[in-house]
């Protein structure tokens, strides 16, 4: 069966983007952090041992703590919800949206209220009783619903999980709603707070978590690494989408692509990442490939994940590859939030006209300008998304 092609005949503007992550929460600080070749990993006692993770910086934690104390109802919320609320407040303010505007909300998460769910379940195992708010505060839908409550919005609200490509699937949903004329504004993104014992334990069980405390413990885009080097990070990012070419646009969603892998295993991906080949080709079907200046890869730091995506890019672009980068060597893998944090990186590079490469990877020939950037994401299950951004 032939894959349906998607053409955007209307421009989608990204009028604001806000995040809260190990890079910080202020665009200037985030950009300065990207220019710094140091990573954001710290060693914490998790999973019954010292474990490298990427946590929010002190200023971002203070913002989240203040938000939690601002309303008695917020004290029982999971960090994944609070992260999304903090980023969303800034995004709509920067976009100039108000509670009088009708806009949709789609903020997804790979695992939802991870920390809170594990605490409630542990308490149930010990006492045989569940807390009254255990279910309402741990369902996946409460991320978007609490953001909608906090912003006093009146549009549709959606939450979903498509593992690590969740945030970019939220963007696909937003584009679809805008193109359908069902609304003219949509807030999309992802949020994740996965730094818990059980989640780290799951990654160790898959044998993909980094055991290295070298200068660069996550070797994302090191295609010759001999072991997996995934490290988890936390954070949230959202962007405001609007139909049409807006004067205040940070960037434009030029085209989108998506595909699903035919699986041989629960977490498998083919040797040449067929899903990525299909999603990139869909996103680039009306584009001269030489116009793509850079790709922000998913590249989680695993041997198979990095290499198969690279081979897929080679299949699509041939020998004339765009500049390739990723942010996971610096902030780790933020699961459901990672796609929008990659969008943020792409927009910052276009705004500043500076390519941020991976410090330990082979140097790449720099292009004269960065006008179009492709962003990739894929999750367990081979659900790939590619988004082409332009300025």
Same domain membership, residue 132 and residue 94: yes
Choosing from 224, 243, 262, the residue where a domain stops is: 243
Quote the number of domains for the chain: 2
- The helix, strand and coil proportions of the chain, stated in percent and rounded to the nearest 5, come to 35, 20, 45
Domain CATH number, residue 341: 3.40.47.10
Choosing from 243, 273, 298, the residue where a domain stops is: 243
Same domain membership, residue 293 and residue 218: no
Same domain membership, residue 203 and residue 265: no
Phi-psi region of 26 (alpha: psi -120 to 50; beta: other; left: phi over 0): beta
Same domain membership, residue 18 and residue 76: yes
pLDDT reported for residue 265: 55
Instruction: Give the chain's count of helices (H) and strands (E).
Output: 11, 12
Same domain membership, residue 281 and residue 225: no
pLDDT reported for residue 205: 93
User: What range defines the domain where residue 207 resides?
Assistant: 12-243
Choosing from 243, 271, 287, the residue where a domain stops is: 243
pLDDT digits (tens, 9 = 90+) for 271-287: 678 999 999 999 999 89
- In angstroms and rounded to an integer, the radius of gyration of the C-alpha atoms of the chain is 20
pLDDT reported for residue 6: 47
Same domain membership, residue 178 and residue 64: yes
Q: How far apart are CA 84 and CA 190, in angstroms?
A: 7
pLDDT reported for residue 259: 95
Q: How far apart are CA 236 and CA 238, in angstroms?
A: 7
pLDDT digits (tens, 9 = 90+) for 153-195: 989 999 999 999 999 999 999 999 999 999 999 999 999 999 9
Same domain membership, residue 143 and residue 101: yes
Same domain membership, residue 300 and residue 235: no
Predicted TM-score (pTM) of this structure = 0.94
Same domain membership, residue 173 and residue 156: yes
């Amino acid at each position: 069966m032939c894959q349906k092609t998607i053409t955007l005949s209307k421009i989608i503007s990204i009028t604001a983007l806000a995040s809260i992550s190990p890079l910080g929460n202020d665009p200037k600080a985030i950009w300065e952090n990207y220019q710094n070749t140091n990573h954001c990993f710290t060693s914490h006692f998790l999973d019954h041992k010292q474990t490298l993770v990427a946590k929010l910086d002190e200023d971002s934690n203070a913002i989240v703590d203040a938000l939690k104390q601002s309303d008695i109802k917020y004290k029982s919320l999971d960090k994944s919800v609070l992260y999304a609320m903090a980023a969303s407040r800034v995004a709509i303010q920067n976009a100039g949206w108000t509670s009088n505007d009708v806009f949709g909300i789609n903020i997804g998460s790979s695992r939802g209220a991870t920390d809170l769910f594990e605490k409630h379940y542990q308490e149930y195992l010990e006492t045989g009783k569940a807390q009254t708010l255990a279910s309402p505060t741990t369902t996946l839908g409460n991320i978007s619903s609490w953001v909608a409550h906090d912003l006093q919005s009146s549009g549709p609200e959606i939450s979903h999980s498509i593992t690590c490509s969740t945030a970019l699937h939220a963007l696909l949903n937003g584009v679809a709603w805008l193109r359908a004329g069902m609304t003219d504004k949509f807030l999309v993104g992802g949020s994740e707070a996965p730094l818990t014992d059980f989640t780290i334990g799951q990654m160790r069980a898959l044998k993909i978590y980094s055991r290295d405390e070298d200068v660069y413990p996550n070797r994302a885009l090191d295609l010759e690494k001999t072991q997996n080097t995934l490290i988890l990070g936390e954070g949230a990012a959202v962007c405001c989408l609007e139909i049409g070419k807006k004067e205040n646009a940070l960037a434009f969603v030029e085209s989108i692509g998506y595909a699903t892998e035919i699986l041989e295993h629960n977490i498998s991906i083919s040797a040449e990442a067929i899903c990525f080949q299909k999603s990139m080709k869909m996103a680039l079907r009306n584009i001269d490939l030489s116009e793509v200046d850079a790709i922000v890869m998913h590249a989680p730091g695993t041997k198979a994940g990095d290499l198969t995506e690279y081979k897929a890019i080679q299949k699509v672009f041939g020998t004339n590859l765009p500049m390739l980068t990723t942010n996971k060597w610096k902030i780790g893998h933020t699961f459901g939030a990672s796609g929008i944090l990659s969008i943020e990186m792409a927009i910052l590079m276009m705004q500043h006209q500076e390519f941020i490469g991976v410090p330990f990877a082979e140097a790449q020939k720099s292009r004269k300008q960065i006008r179009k950037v492709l962003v990739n994401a894929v999750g367990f299950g081979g659900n790939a998304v590619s988004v082409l951004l332009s300025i």
